[in-house]
């Protein structure tokens, strides 16, 4: 093997509930417009078209287990910084053109995550028909709780998903409200890229997204898949 110019960056990892081992993160995919009420609050009409995907860099992930009291800085270049709570599925296996009926076989576990968004940059990108990269894929934009390994009893398509800011409930939905359920999301994504172990998929957010300011404390939970907590430094 050739000598490297500088030391290779470490692979980002996430905690696994009840396991001393950690989950290595390879890529982060996100689904836009997957809850009808959120689509409406963003000013468009929900449609049963294929889900819209975008990405975040793997090192955007933040370990936000409630026991850690994680803190992230208010990001630069924005005056409209938003939370979006999501179910995150972590893949332990991969494949291309995976049928929806077999998509759950790829999943190692799930967690609650935040798709943090510089909303003003996103709105400007939409107006110019440009990419969302700097609105969605900035540093520390993907906080995530500890992964809960998938069990046969786990429910991926129903269960409460909610978020509070400073103790006030802001988002309160159910996984059953997804336009595209988890299996459908993975099947559609696998038509575009070959999924791999270590991939994270953020599956969309319910209605109620809104701004964060410095000093805010955020808590979130997905039924059956744990909680997260952080503050905006």
Confidence band for 39, pLDDT divided at 50, 70 and 90: low
Q: Which residues of 15-36 are buried (b: 16+ CB within 10 A; e: fewer)?
A: bbeeeeeebebbbbbbbbbbbb
pLDDT for 120 equals 98
Instruction: For the beta carbon of residue 81, count every other beta carbon within 10 angstroms.
Output: 22
For residue 170, pLDDT beyond 90: yes
**Parallel/antiparallel/unpaired status of strands 107-114 and 210-211:** unpaired
For residue 38, pLDDT beyond 70: no
Mean predicted confidence (pLDDT) in 132-159: 96
Confidence band for 33, pLDDT divided at 50, 70 and 90: confident
Confidence band for 48, pLDDT divided at 50, 70 and 90: low
pLDDT for 46 equals 65
Prediction pTM value: 0.95
At the fourth CATH level, the homologous superfamily of domain 13-25+59-232 is Fumarylacetoacetase-like, C-terminal domain (3.90.850.10)
Structure tokens belonging to residue 104: 């759950």
Q: Which residues make Cβ contacts (< 8 Å) with residue 158, sequence separation at least 6?
A: 174, 175, 176
Residue 56's Cβ-side half-sphere holds a number of Cα atoms within 13 Å equal to 29
pLDDT for 69 equals 83
For residue 47, pLDDT beyond 80: no
Q: Which residues make Cβ contacts (< 8 Å) with residue 117, sequence separation at least 6?
A: 81, 82, 84, 135, 136, 141, 209
The per-residue pLDDT of the chain, averaged, comes to 94
* Domain spans, the chain: 13-25+59-232
pLDDT for 164 equals 98
Mean predicted confidence (pLDDT) in 92-114: 97
Which whole-number Å values give the CA distances from 79 to 74, 121, 163, 190, in the listed order?
10, 9, 21, 35
Q: Whole-angstrom Cα distance, residue 6 to residue 201? A: 30
Confidence band for 62, pLDDT divided at 50, 70 and 90: very high
For residue 190, pLDDT beyond 80: yes
Confidence band for 36, pLDDT divided at 50, 70 and 90: confident
Structure tokens belonging to residue 170: 């802001």
For residue 95, pLDDT beyond 80: yes
Instruction: For the beta carbon of residue 144, count every other beta carbon within 10 angstroms.
Output: 28
Mean predicted confidence (pLDDT) in 98-126: 97
pLDDT for 176 equals 95
Confidence band for 2, pLDDT divided at 50, 70 and 90: confident
Decide: residue 223, CB within 10 A, 0-12 exposed, 13-18 middle, 19+ buried.
middle
Confidence band for 43, pLDDT divided at 50, 70 and 90: low
């Amino acid at each position: 093997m050739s000598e490297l110019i500088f030391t290779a960056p470490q692979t980002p990892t996430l905690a696994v509930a009840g396991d001393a081992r950690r989950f290595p993160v390879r890529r982060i995919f996100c689904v836009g417009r997957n809850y009808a009420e959120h689509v409406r609050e963003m000013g468009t009409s929900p449609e049963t078209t294929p889900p819209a995907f975008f990405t975040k860099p793997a090192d955007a992930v933040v370990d936000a287990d409630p026991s850690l009291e994680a803190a992230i800085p208010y990001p630069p270049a924005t005056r409209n910084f938003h939370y979006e709570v999501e179910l995150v599925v972590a893949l332990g296996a991969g494949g291309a053109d995976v049928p929806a009926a077999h998509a759950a076989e790829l999943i190692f576990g799930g967690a609650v995550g935040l798709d943090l968004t510089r909303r003003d940059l996103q709105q400007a990108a939409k107006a110019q028909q440009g990419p969302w990269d700097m609105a969605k894929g900035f540093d520390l934009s993907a906080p995530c709780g500890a992964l809960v390994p998938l069990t046969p009893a786990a429910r991926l398509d129903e269960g409460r998903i909610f978020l509070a800011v400073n103790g006030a409930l802001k988002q309160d939905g159910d996984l059953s409200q997804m336009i595209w359920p988890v299996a459908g999301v993975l099947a559609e994504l696998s038509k575009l890229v070959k999924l791999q172990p270590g991939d994270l998929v953020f599956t969309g957010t319910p209605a109620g997204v809104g701004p964060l300011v410095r000093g805010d404390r955020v808590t979130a939970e997905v039924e059956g898949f744990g909680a997260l907590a952080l503050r905006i430094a």
